[in-house]
């Protein structure tokens, strides 16, 4: 059954435009409350990132949930994976994150976690959508929910993150630059790494509601790369606005992306005899990851793009490790959702165990040149169905002659067509990607 409001990652859009309006947020809170009030603790946690519209949506959601008889625990600015963790520890019925992840400040979204810290099951999302079609009614006064703020949420999550590095290890002697994208990790990540012994330099830790993800963080690593070189750091770590993505930078300024991070974590797990099964990537995962894992005899399969689909395939196969080149990394031996801080701690643990730098430990995987071009399109148009686009794709595939890949898809969160071309030569791949992108622009 198709969803009217929920996408691959909750409800998302531009603030002030349906469905990211105060009226809809209140109705969504009420509808979710109606579904969730029939079970469990009748308690829901709400966390948010640092964008200015979080205040508006938090208040509206709170009103809707309370009107449905749900008690609300307000976490304030918290990374998405922190909300998943705290939902479990508070034994809450659900957790809600107000965030548009890596998008600009003027976008926002509302996504839900189930009681076990994973994405809501399809049947629950559909039940909420069904309630959204009903008229909103308020429970009687004695049944109204209550809302309280959780004062120690950040401290709880900091300790949880630190617990994922072995007790006998520390980061003493490491000089690390951390870029928090002016987002939800700004008051979390620096404390985690400092308390584990690292010498930490920070950027992107002064959120003002409007600067989240602005030329910083996991989607814009240039500032981090320069800072690592300027302060002669051992490495840098960048998170996105809600902390579920991570990119790393070695001491030379080279970016270590999600594919390489997944490889490093899987290789370390294999060395420790803790690897169960293989690794799940996506259609966007670099072919270099597949080849490097094959060298280690580690099975590799691809899911659709999106951490939701990576998770589904991990569960289907009963595997533990997966991720996306964009920096979503899953290791179900550590936590139940993508967590940028924990993923970076796993890489640092592997570095310490191997007594190697990030640059040295990353040499086991070589990426094929891969170019991604994003093309905006008008909602309602279907450029991928146009003959000139289909022909451009066929032409490029013929010239690649089986020594590369073409992947064209619509973004699940923005009005973009993503054109990805992978091959042996960087200049050739760039030309092919722009050739197809131009065809998409004409068709749009």
pLDDT digits (tens, 9 = 90+) for 350-392: 999 999 999 999 999 999 999 999 999 887 678 899 999 999 9
Same-domain status, 304 and 223: no
> Phi/psi class of residue 164: alpha, beta or left (left: φ > 0; alpha: ψ in -120 to 50)?
alpha
Check if the beta carbon of residue 246 is closer than 8 Å to that of residue 327: yes
Instruction: State residue 414's pLDDT score.
Output: 79
pLDDT of residue 101: 95
Q: What is the pTM of this model?
A: 0.90
Q: Are 140 and 44 members of one domain? A: yes
Domain assignment present for residue 90? The answer is yes
C-alpha closest to that of 217 among 236, 231, 198, 204: 204
Instruction: Examine the fold and report which residue of 228, 254, 280 is the final residue of a domain before the chain moves on.
Output: 254
Nearest to 181 by CA among 149, 137, 155, 220: 220
Query: How many domains, in total, are found in the chain?
Result: 4
Q: Which residues contact 428 (CB under 8 A, 6 or more apart)?
A: none
Mark whether 31 and 51 lie in a shared domain. yes
The pLDDT value recorded for residue 361 is: 97
Together in a domain, 186 and 239? yes
Are 140 and 25 in a shared domain?
Answer: yes
**230 assigned to a ligand binding site:** no
Q: Which of 339, 362, 393 is the last residue of a domain?
A: 339
Which residue range forms the structural domain that includes residue 229? 157-254
- C-alpha dihedral, 188 to 119 to 221 to 58, nearest 10°: -60
61 and 109 part of one domain: yes
Tell me the per-residue pLDDT of 376-434, one tens digit each, with 9 for 90 and over: 988 767 889 999 999 999 999 999 988 889 999 888 777 899 999 999 899 999 999 99
pLDDT over threshold 90, residue 73: yes
Residue 3 pLDDT more than 70?
yes
Mark whether 101 is an active-site residue. yes
Average pLDDT, the chain: 95
- In CATH, what number is assigned to the domain containing residue 408? 3.30.310.50
Q: Which helix (H) or strand (E) holds 235?
A: strand 235-239
Question: What is the arithmetic mean of pLDDT over 197-223?
Answer: 98
Which pLDDT tens digit goes with each residue over 259-307?
999 999 999 999 999 999 999 999 989 999 998 999 999 999 999 988 8
Supply the angle between the helices 80-89 and 340-354 in degrees, to the nearest 10: 100
Omega of the bond leading into 19 within 30 degrees of 0 (cis): yes
> Is 36 in the same domain as 121?
yes
More confident residue, 165 or 306: 165
What does the DSSP 8-state code read for residue 385?
G
Q: Is 345 contained in some domain?
A: no
Identify whether residues 175 and 114 lie together within a single domain.
Answer: no
Q: Which pLDDT does position 9 carry in this prediction? A: 81
Same domain, 200 and 185: yes
Statement to judge: residues 192 and 237 lie in one domain? yes
User: What pLDDT is recorded for position 2?
Assistant: 66
Strand partners, 112: 96
Does the pLDDT value for residue 8 go beyond 90? no
CA–CA gap between residue 425 and residue 405 (Å, rounded): 12
Q: According to the model, what pLDDT value does residue 157 have?
A: 98
- Which pLDDT band, with edges at 50, 70 and 90, does 121 fall under? confident
**Residue 337 confidence (pLDDT) above 70:** yes
pLDDT at 380: 66
Q: Is 358 part of any domain?
A: no
Is residue 24 domain-shared with residue 82, that is, in the same domain? yes
- Marked catalytic residue, from 101, 114, 326, 362: 101
Closest to 423 measured CA to CA, from 376, 379, 368, 367 = 368
State yes or no: 257 annotated in a binding site: no
Structure tokens at 337: 């959702």
pLDDT at 145 over 70: yes
Q: Is the pLDDT of residue 1 over 60?
A: no
Let me know whether 146 and 30 are in one domain. yes
Known binding residue 114? Answer is no
Cβ neighbours for 205, distance < 8 A, ≥ 6 positions apart: 178, 180, 182, 186, 187, 190
């Amino acid at each position: 059954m198709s969803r009217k409001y929920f996408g691959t990652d909750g409800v998302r859009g531009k603030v002030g435009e349906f469905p990211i309006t105060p009226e809809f947020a209140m109705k969504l809170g009420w509808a979710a409350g109606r579904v969730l009030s029939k079970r469990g603790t009748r308690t829901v946690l709400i966390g948010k990132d640092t964008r200015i519209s979080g205040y508006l949506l938090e208040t509206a959601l709170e009103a809707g949930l309370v009107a449905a008889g749900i008690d609300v625990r307000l976490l304030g600015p918290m990374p998405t994976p922190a909300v998943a963790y705290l939902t479990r520890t508070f034994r809450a019925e659900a957790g809600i994150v107000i965030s548009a992840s890596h998008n600009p400040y003027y976008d926002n979204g509302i996504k839900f976690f189930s009681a076990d810290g994973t994405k809501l099951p399809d049947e629950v999302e559909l039940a909420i959508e069904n309630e959204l079609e009903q008229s909103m009614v308020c429970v009687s006064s004695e049944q109204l929910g209550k809302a309280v703020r959780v004062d120690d949420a950040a401290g709880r999550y900091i300790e949880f993150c630190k617990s994922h590095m072995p007790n006998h290890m520390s980061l003493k002697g490491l000089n690390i630059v951390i870029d928090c994208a002016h987002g939800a990790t700004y008051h979390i990540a620096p404390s985690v790494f400092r308390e584990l012994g690292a010498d930490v330099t920070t950027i992107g830790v002064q959120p003002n509601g409007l600067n989240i993800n602005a030329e910083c963080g996991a989607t814009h690593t240039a500032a981090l790369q320069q800072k690592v070189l300027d302060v002669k750091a051992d490495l840098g770590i960048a998170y996105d606005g809600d902390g579920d993505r991570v990119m790393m930078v070695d001491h030379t300024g080279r970016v270590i992306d999600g594919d390489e991070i997944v490889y490093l974590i899987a290789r370390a797990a294999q060395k420790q005899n803790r690897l169960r099964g293989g690794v799940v990537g996506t259609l966007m995962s670099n072919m270099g990851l597949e080849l490097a894992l094959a060298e280690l005899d580690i099975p590799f399969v691809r899911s659709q793009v999106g951490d939701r689909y990576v998770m589904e395939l991990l569960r289907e196969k009963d595997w533990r490790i997966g991720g996306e080149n964009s920096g979503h990394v899953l290791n179900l031996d550590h936590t139940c959702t993508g967590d940028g801080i924990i993923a970076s701690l796993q890489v640092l643990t592997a570095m310490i165990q191997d007594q190697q730098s990030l640059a040295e430990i990353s040499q086991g995987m070589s990426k094929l040149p891969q170019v991604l071009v994003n093309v905006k399109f008008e909602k309602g148009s279907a450029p991928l169905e146009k003959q000139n686009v289909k022909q451009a794709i066929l032409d490029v595939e013929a010239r690649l002659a089986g020594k590369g890949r073409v992947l064209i898809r619509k973004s699940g969160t923005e009005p973009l067509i993503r054109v990805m071309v992978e091959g042996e030569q960087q200049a050739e791949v760039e030309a092919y990607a722009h050739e197809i992108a131009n065809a998409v622009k004409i068709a749009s």
